[in-house]
Amino acid sequence: MAGTIDQVIVSASADGIVAVDEQGIVRLCNPAAAQLFDRPARKLVGTPFGFPIVAGAATEIDLMLPSGGRRVVEMRVTATTLEDEPLYVAALRDVTRRDHVERELAAALERQNVAVSIAAHELHNPLATISILVDVLRNRLVALAEEQKAEIIDRIADRTARLQGLVRKLLTAATIDATGPSARLERVTVLEVILERLGELDKRAQDVHLSCSATLVALVDRKEFSAMLENLLDNAFAYGRPPIEVSARAQNGWVRIRVSDHGPGVPQAFVPRLFERFTREPGVGQETEGTGLGLWIVRRLAQGNGGETWYETSKDGGACFWLRLRRAP
């Protein structure tokens, strides 16, 4: 009677139960174990278990399934005897989801650490410059000529604008991480947003050549569209050389926007990683400002608006980025 009850308990257990002899051969397994291995119980019994058996130990094992999938399983082993023969009973529990969550948390923590490190570095330089310039104004205000004062104020404004841009990038990245892109699609006149972004460039705007119809309208979140353009332009100025060419046109129900420069372009080996987070081209010096977030933000926002972005080598050898968004009917 006791044996029958034990068999019922083993069969009904939600955990996988596998009994293995001293030679490592499976002698018994319950339905839950067969489901974990994705194989019928009759094909498991009599075959090598394939994992080290250590009584009293709790370990995690990777099950490679016949379908090509993978499960992470927590295994706890107890030593016992059956008819005076040593036997090891392994209790198996699927912890794949827990393992996935732990990996995601570890990755999120790593991203946070990298973001803090990059932010600290990128914030330091403009803040240091602003601090020095303010000290100059404070200590030499009377002695400075009006032109010198104006130049210092312009430099402070430039550094402040760069800080604001960095903060926008970090906040956008944090929002995407927390909630994903939250596009509110509306009819947006493409030229208006491009001109707004060029207006934020101040003197650098004279290095931009623009070609866009005043009647071109996209179906896109206006704020996110502006952020995409800002990051594409920042990237062109940071890594390319002027003139920067911006063009937009309609094609088969889409709005195609092209941002290109006359710099060295992107090494072919680096192109597959171009839109990854916190990725910067190898060999770029510390004097080149950048968080490695800009192009990642562009791709995520483009996808959230039903569009896409990609890179091509320009005919002139520079970098060429495309942004495709839905055209408003």
Which of 84, 63, 64 minimizes the C-alpha distance to 73?
A: 63
- Three-state SS for 30-62 is CHHHHHHHCCCHHHHCCCECCCCCCCCCEEEEE
CA-angle at 143, arms to 141 and 144, nearest 5°: 70
Tokens 């990996």 — which residue?
A: 103
Helices within the chain (DSSP H only): 2-12, 31-37, 41-44, 96-140, 146-179, 190-199, 222-239, 294-304
- Delimit the domains of the chain by residue range: 2-94, 98-180, 184-329
Architecture of domain 184-329: 2-Layer Sandwich (3.30)
pLDDT of residue 6: 44
The answer as to CATH 1.10.287.130 being correct for domain 98-180 is yes
Distance CA 39, CA 214 (A): 64
Q: What gap in Å lies between CA 261 and CA 242, rounded to an integer?
A: 6
Per-residue pLDDT of the chain (329 residues; tens, 9 = 90+): 334 434 544 554 778 899 999 898 998 888 888 888 888 888 889 999 988 888 887 888 888 888 888 888 999 998 888 777 888 999 999 888 887 887 878 877 776 666 666 667 667 777 888 888 888 888 888 788 888 888 888 888 888 887 887 788 878 887 887 777 778 999 999 999 999 999 988 788 899 999 999 999 999 999 999 999 999 999 999 889 999 999 999 999 999 999 999 998 898 888 988 998 877 665 554 445 556 788 999 999 999 999 999 999 877 788 999 999 999 98
Tokens of 323: 């942004």
Angle at CA 232, nearest 5°, toward 292 and 301? 80
Three-class DSSP category at 83: coil
Q: What is the DSSP letter of 143?
A: T
Superfamily of domain 2-94: PAS domain (3.30.450.20)
SS3 label, residue 155: helix
The 10 Å Cβ neighbour count of residue 197 is 21
Res 287: pLDDT: 47
CA-to-CA distance for 182 and 304, rounded, in angstroms? Answer: 7
The separation between the first and the last C-alpha atoms of the chain, rounded to the nearest angstrom, is 76
Q: Are 149 and 140 in contact (CB under 8 A)?
A: no
